[in-house]
Chains A and B, each alone.
Chain A
Amino acid sequence: DTGVSQNPRHKITKRGQNVTFRCDPISEHNRLYWYRQTLGQGPEFLTYFQNEAQLEKSRLLSDRFSAERPKGSFSTLEIQRTEQGDSAMYLCASSLGGKTQYFGPGTRLLVL
């Protein structure tokens, strides 16, 4: 399968803990996006990379959130000092330039 993959698929953590999610994009795609989706809502943009450069961050991405894409391949999204409001599905997508964005299956985070 050469689609976008995300790990872990599910994560349960206690408030105040740090969590890290990984996204592996389609191999030739230079753009990688992170979105967050809460129940009953459409996904909301968080940040995106072109190759290894992080070019835009949404206001939703507080300073507790950090994302990296070393070497322009996989990406990680870390949330420090998690809060219950961070509970959501975290979605990763990749694309070649401005073409179709392909989404991964998501990581569902529950903060207790």
Chain B
Amino acid sequence: KQEVTQIPAALSVPEGENLVLNCSFTDSAIYNLQWFRQDPGKGLTSLLLIQSSQREQTSGRLNASLDKSSGRSTLYIAASQPGDSATYLCAPGRNSGYALNFGKGTSLLVTP
């Protein structure tokens, strides 16, 4: 059974800082990995998708890396803004069926 761990569980930073969110997973036989953000009481917004053959993906101020063999992914957020405050979820997708396994997330607060 895939176990997904996200560190730290919570993070508070002042506006403008660069930050790194970490994700580790126990089964490296994944098809892809998605990063999501979730605002309180809302659904999930997809941020980035990395295929298992890729090492990283970038979208705007976000950069996600994947080291499949070691079971790790990181999400780098540059020049953080208060609007980035949310819970960030990492979800490796299975080879069969592509269903996602989620960690508990990192709760991020960016203060003005």
Asked whether, in the complex, the Cβ of B89 is within 8 Å of the Cβ of A100, the reply is no
Of the listed residues A31, A102, A103, the one surrounded by the most CB atoms of chain B closer than 10 A to its CB is A103
Query: In which size bucket is the chain B interface?
Result: 20 to 34
Alpha-carbon gap, A56 to B45, bound state (A): 24
Smallest distance from the beta carbon of A12 to chain B beta carbons, Å? 15
Knowing A40-B104, A42-B4 touch, does A103 contact B46 (C-beta < 8 A)? yes
Binds A, one of B64-72, B74-82, B94-102: B94-102
Alpha-carbon gap, A91 to B103, bound state (A): 16
Number of interface residues of A (CB under 8 A): 26
Q: Please, which residues of chain B bring their CB within 8 A of the CB of A93?
A: 44, 100
B42's partner among A48, A55, A97, A105 (CB-CB below 8 A) is A105
Q: Please, which residues of chain A bring their CB within 8 A of the CB of B91?
A: 42-43
A103's partner among B43, B49, B104 (CB-CB below 8 A) is B43
Q: Please, which residues of chain A bring their CB within 8 A of the CB of B99?
A: 33, 45, 48, 56
Asked whether, in the complex, the Cβ of B101 is within 8 Å of the Cβ of A45, the reply is yes
Q: Please, which residues of chain B bring their CB within 8 A of the CB of A42?
A: 4, 89, 91, 102-105
Of the listed residues B43, B44, B45, B91, the one surrounded by the most CB atoms of chain A closer than 10 A to its CB is B43
Asked whether, in the complex, the Cβ of A100 is within 8 Å of the Cβ of B42, the reply is no
Asked whether, in the complex, the Cβ of A43 is within 8 Å of the Cβ of B104, the reply is no
Alpha-carbon gap, A86 to B93, bound state (A): 25
Asked whether, in the complex, the Cβ of B100 is within 8 Å of the Cβ of A56, the reply is no
Asked whether, in the complex, the Cβ of B97 is within 8 Å of the Cβ of A48, the reply is yes
Asked whether, in the complex, the Cβ of A41 is within 8 Å of the Cβ of B100, the reply is no
Asked whether, in the complex, the Cβ of B46 is within 8 Å of the Cβ of A31, the reply is no
Q: Which A residues are closer than 8 A to B by beta carbons?
A: 31, 33, 35, 40-45, 48, 55-56, 91, 93, 95, 97-106, 108
